[in-house]
Chain A
Amino acid sequence: MYRRMMAMSTIIDVRNLTKRYGDLVAVDHVSYEIHEGEIFGLLGPNGSGKTTTILMLVGLINPTEGTAVISGYDVIKQPLEARSSVGLLPENAGYYDNLTARQNLSYYADLARVSRVLARKSIDELLDLVGLSDWKNTKVQAFSRGMRQRLGIAQSLIRDPEILILDEPTQGIDPEGTRDIRELVKELSKERGKTVVLTTHLLHEVDKLCDRVAIMKQGKLIALDTIPNLTNQIKAEEGADFEEVFLRFQGVM
């Protein structure tokens, strides 16, 4: 599978990406490539620099050093072009509580310059896809955390982007909701050809979802490979799950 991915073109190219806050190095010379159509997991404990990396990719934070290129566009020099191919579900994403699910998506569709006719069709389809059809005319203030996350995924898909960046998409969601989101991500990647970059603390989800993972620790990239290769690298016993592999890389076990 990895060989198949190598043949694919690079859609995200990160080179020596660094972010410093005074003496604190939040992201320390991180480099990796993400290939078209793969599900790429960005893993690490809290404060390891995952979210900072993602925010640099979408231009919300300026890197201190390094470059990031998305779909051939430099995120600093051509921010609008780079962002055009990305759909982001930020960590702790917020929506407009005074608007309904449909109105929220309609607003984002307008921002993405999706035509009215297409937007109307897409909004219904997306709300159906994330299981919010029955609540499309309900104000978001009445939504549970899980419903908000689903709306977030629909929001990130409204402009039909090539790349989906999902920062903790299953955070605070019950097991059933987590499974639904996992299946949805799989479907988006395998059936719709989306490239998915996701961060999560649920390592068993990573095991089931990701083609490759990057493990970060204190701003540094400490491992980058497929899960079977990473397992081999640390010579984990047969049957060791990914959580164990991850903890060994972090030096916890």
Chain B
Amino acid sequence: MPGLFTIAKKELLDIVTEKKFLLIFATLLIVVLVSTFQGAQNFMEMSSSSSAYTTLEFSTSGNNSEPQIKTLSIGSTNLYWALYSMVKNISTVGGLLAIAISFDAINKERLSGSLKTLLSYPVYRDSVLGGKYLGGFAAITIVTLTTFMAGIGVFVGVTGTPLTFDNTARLLIFLGMSVVYLALFLGIGLLLSIVLPEPSTSLLAAIIIWLASTQLIPNLGWAIASIVYPFSFTTSGNIGKFGPSSAHELLRKVITGISPSASFEQTVSGILSTSKMEFSGYTHVNVPISLGQALMTCLPNLIYLVALLVVVFAACYVTFTRQEIR
């Protein structure tokens, strides 16, 4: 495609020299470094105390008897708990950065009149779109790599956790997923800049989508699931359980799964969960989760994110190539 790399190179240079980019990038870097440092310290504390828990299951032997603790599943000292804040910050601040890069990629040029000049050159519109996206993608990759390296550096430095083959593979998949996730927000910003004529409108629309993805849909999922399936004490045979039912969890996951941010966090939490600690009766059991198992668990979310990225880019392509430039 003639002109693709020329446009991408210019786009990348424009992005990395813009003040808004540098400001959000610096914020993301600082927030990730601080939160990863805290996460690493918590990780070390948890390694020694193992105090967190998520689900309490217990059994009853009769109608009037006291319930007996049967099983307690606890959040173990795995990579996810240590890097939870880093994942959360990439999900929120990273998404915002991706939007900030692309929300005015096309409509700014259309308003200034430079798009007409650009498209009068012997370049396909695919090249313009691809170049803009590629430039933004390169910027996003630089951001993700830098943030990731810095965050992992702090984590390893503080905890002394060895980077085994398994850990490294999980971290690399986390890195790849972060790039895919941010590329999706980049695409959403680009699509809005094609569809909406004013940069201020596309920025507003992009922020609304970002808020819906990071806050509204996850909260809504929790609220709807809690209304439809409230927390309750349930028994199955002689096993009793207090907390969200499996139907509640399923409904919550289905609703929150619509949100790219929640889907990204669910995927990464699955990948980074190296083990799950359980105990039967009163004995702790550390159950390792292999990389293969982790990948299988988060495969639907992974496919959803990639599919969403493809759909958004296809929408950009169809809209832009058919648009009249006046």
A residues lining the B interface (CB < 8 Å): 52, 55, 58-62, 79-81, 83-84, 86-88, 90, 92-98, 107-108, 110-113, 152, 155, 159
Contacts and interface: CB of A to CB of B under 8 A. Distances in A.
B117 A61 contact: no
B311 to A, nearest CB: 25
Given A93-B113, A98-B14, A113-B2, A58 B120 contact: yes
Contacts of A96: 14, 114
Contacts of B14: 96, 98
B117 A88 contact: yes
Contact of A111 (B3, B17, B109): B3
Contact of B118 (A62, A92, A111): A111
B221 to A, nearest CB: 43
B91 to A, nearest CB: 31
Nearest 4 interchain pairs by C-beta: A94-B113, A94-B112, A88-B120, A90-B116
Contacts of B124: 79-80
A92 B122 CA distance: 20
Nearest to A82: B122
B10 interface: yes
Nearest to A113: B2
A60 B117 contact: no
A95 B117 contact: yes
Given A60-B324, A61-B326, A90 B2 contact: no
Contacts of B52: none
A233 B73 CA distance: 96
Interface residues on B, range: 20 to 34
B146 interface: no
A155 B325 contact: no
23 contacts: A55-B116, A55-B324, A55-B326, A60-B119, A60-B326, A61-B324, A62-B324, A83-B120, A83-B122, A86-B120, A88-B117, A90-B116, A93-B114, A93-B117, A95-B112, A98-B17, A107-B10, A111-B6, A111-B122, A112-B122, A113-B2, A152-B117, A159-B121
A107 B326 contact: no
A110 to B, nearest CB: 4
A93 B324 contact: no
Given A62-B324, A93-B117, 17 more contacts: A55-B325, A60-B120, A60-B325, A60-B326, A80-B123, A81-B122, A83-B122, A90-B116, A92-B113, A93-B113, A94-B112, A107-B10, A111-B2, A111-B3, A111-B7, A111-B122, A113-B122
B121 A83 contact: yes
Interface centre among B116, B117, B120, B325 (most CB of A within 10 A): B120
Nearest to A97: B112
A90 B113 contact: yes
B324 A112 contact: no
B119 to A, nearest CB: 6
Contact of A95 (B7, B114, B120, B326): B114
B3 A94 contact: no
Contacts of A83: 120-122
Given A60-B324, A107-B10, A111-B3, A94 B114 contact: yes
A78 to B, nearest CB: 10
A90 B124 CA distance: 18
Contacts of A155: 117
A87 B116 CA distance: 12
B116 A88 contact: yes
Contacts of A112: 121-122
A98 B123 CA distance: 22
A108 B113 contact: no
Given A55-B325, A55-B326, A93 B122 contact: no
A94 B117 contact: yes
Given A60-B325, A80-B2, A108 B114 contact: no
A79 B3 CA distance: 15
A98 B16 CA distance: 13
Contacts of A52: 326
Interface string B302-326: 0000000000000000000000111
A81 B121 CA distance: 10
Interface in B91-127: 109, 111-114, 116-124
